Structure 1
Amino acid sequence: MKRRNFLKGSAVLAGATVSGQLAANGTPLNSEKEIYEWRVYHFKNGGQKNKVGRFYQEALIPAMNENGVRVGAFGEYGLTDPPTVYYLLVYPSMAEYSRVKKAVWKNESFLKQATNYFEDTAESGTYSRFETYLLEAFDAIPQLRQPDEGRGLFELRTYESNNEEACQRKINMFNKEELALFDQVGLHATFFGEILAGPQMPALVYMLWFKDMEEREANWKRFVSSPEWKTMSQKPEYAHTVSVVNKEFLIPFDYSQI
């Protein structure tokens, strides 16, 4: 019963809290929420990875930029083999996501630049597979925050929940309280998104950036030892919201726009 009452009032409470957070963070109020496309490419060897990298640099990223879409490109922290590569495509809105998806395949410059890649890989292939996640930005951070140029490490976290209602309560926890605490202790947010479609559901995804692993370790320690977190984590409305936490550490490629 307490949980039902909490959910009924959550929209009003979140709205009031989010407005204050957005103003404090310098994020424009009433901004349309961005849509994120997160792609995970799996390869058998590094040569295949390089072919896809050239395709993005020479053809897809320029075409996306023409349509107002930024692209982040990341590799794994460490020398993992076979390699996995990650791309983040940032769309201004759901309407733009739909428009750009169609516009790219009518872009003559893109098709010309991509011809060699398409012809070369149609028969022999490149990646063994790639996964796509479609995400909607959180109310409290409706637009991606561009990291500092000194960013050297990204942490990608996926929080799975046992059901949809639990996932919504965790999202509300971030919107109302947790994201503000992240800002205070130096857990630098890049984006937060709810998975609308993808292999892991129900779940949310967020990305943080740091200068290095040392900063990451120090700032997470500040977070877990803070009285605000200890109080927040004991609230009954946030009980049993996360069942699995997945963590991945990434580094940006030279051509990454994020």
Structure 2
Amino acid sequence: MKRRDFIQASLITGTVATLIPQASVASVSKPMQPNTTFEYYELRTYIVKNGRQRKLVEDYFQQAAIPALNKIGSKSIGVFTEYLPQGFTKLIVLIPYASLTDFIEAPQKLVKDTAYLQAAAPYLNATAIEPAYERIESSLFKSFAQMPALEVPEKKPRLFELRRYESPSEITGKKKIEMFNDAGEITIFKRVGLTPVFFGEAVIGSHLPNLTYMLVFDNMEEHDQNWKKFGSDPEWKKISSMPEYSDEKILSGITRTFLVPTAFSQI
């Protein structure tokens, strides 16, 4: 190694060591599972103000976007409305991608699909006077090592819970992910009936740093019962009592949204 390169590398290493406590470095730098392939998830929130906009967005996904995205490899696309909404407020869309490259290339592929462009015309050509929606909020997530692929639940009447956990810093955000991956929280979830659809670490979006996940239940009664079971689980009590995983250190906020799938949702 040339002397100049060695000095630069030493400076970088020294700076990182100063900024990140050694205990945190050890936890953040744990080796990935060999041959783990991670998925990426785009989570879109469509803000709509009336029934016309809601129908336009729903028609767009049912008739244009879902068929076209399925064709290029994005399977199991979820489209949800709020559970017990207060008026017309939002539509939530979950789009999985097999890789980051697939996510980046998807818009280019869609505009070359003539069937998509024709079916999507009412949505794509909406004007400022009569827009298809008010705004789109979008975040991109990377799957967790202990749940690297989305799991589609059984097709039946069901209720979904979308949860976002915000952390006070990037390091504490990694610590919360470690709690799910390495400390065994995902395993406990599955054992007590908190059935996950996906877990994702936010790569791009708002409210960073955060992790977001989705759970599925038959109904609200099952939701309440299984969360109560989780809270009293001995393994969970053991993990949550560890000082390094205390909420006061690694969690700054929780946002939850209850959702129901549209008739054409693939999740």
Q: Is TM > 0.5 for Structure 1 vs Structure 2?
A: yes
2:92 matches 1:75: no
Cα distance 1:228–1:50, how it changes in 2: closer, same or farther (>3 A)?
same
- Percent identity over the alignment? 38
Aligned to 2:252: 243
Whole-Å separation in 1 of the counterparts to 2:167 and 2:112: 39
Please give the secondary structure, in 1, of the residue aligned with 2:139: strand
Aligned to 2:187: 180
Q: 1:255 aligns with which of 255, 258, 264?
A: 264
Note the C-alpha offset of 1:82: 2.8
Q: 1:149 aligns with which of 150, 155, 160?
A: 155
Q: 2:121 aligns with which of 115, 121, 124?
A: 115
Whole-Å separation in 1 of the counterparts to 2:176 and 2:124: 42
Larger radius of gyration: 2
Cα distance 1:255–1:98, how it changes in 2: closer, same or farther (>3 A)?
same
Query: Which ranges in structure 1 are unaligned for 5 or more consecutive residues?
Result: 20-28
2:208 matches 1:208: no
Deviations 1:190-238 (A, max 9, x none): 0000111112111110000001111111100000011111110111221
2:132 matches 1:126: yes
Cα distance 1:211–1:99, how it changes in 2: closer, same or farther (>3 A)?
same
Query: Which ranges in structure 2 are unaligned for 5 or more consecutive residues?
Result: 1-19
TM-score normalised by the chain length of structure 2: 0.86
What is the 5 A alignment of 1:80-91?
80-91=86-97
Note the C-alpha offset of 1:14: 6.9
Q: 1:66 aligns with which of 63, 71, 89?
A: 71
Greater alpha carbon shift after TM alignment, 122-131 vs 156-165: 122-131
Cα RMSD over matched residues? Answer: 1.9
TM-score normalised by the chain length of structure 1: 0.89
Greater alpha carbon shift after TM alignment, 100-109 vs 182-191: 100-109
Q: Which letter does structure 2 place at the counterpart of 1:232? A: I
Note the C-alpha offset of 1:90: 0.5
Please give the secondary structure, in 2, of the residue aligned with 1:167: helix
Deviations 1:128-155 (A, max 9, x none): 1110011111111110011122351000
Cα distance 1:56–1:121, how it changes in 2: closer, same or farther (>3 A)?
farther
Between Structure 1 and Structure 2, how many residues are aligned?
245
Cα distance 1:216–1:14, how it changes in 2: closer, same or farther (>3 A)?
farther
Whole-Å separation in 2 of the counterparts to 1:14 and 1:77: 40
2:111 matches 1:102: no
Whole-Å separation in 1 of the counterparts to 2:29 and 2:133: 46
Cα distance 1:132–1:58, how it changes in 2: closer, same or farther (>3 A)?
same
Q: Which letter does structure 1 place at the counterpart of 2:216? A: W
Whole-Å separation in 2 of the counterparts to 1:175 and 1:60: 33
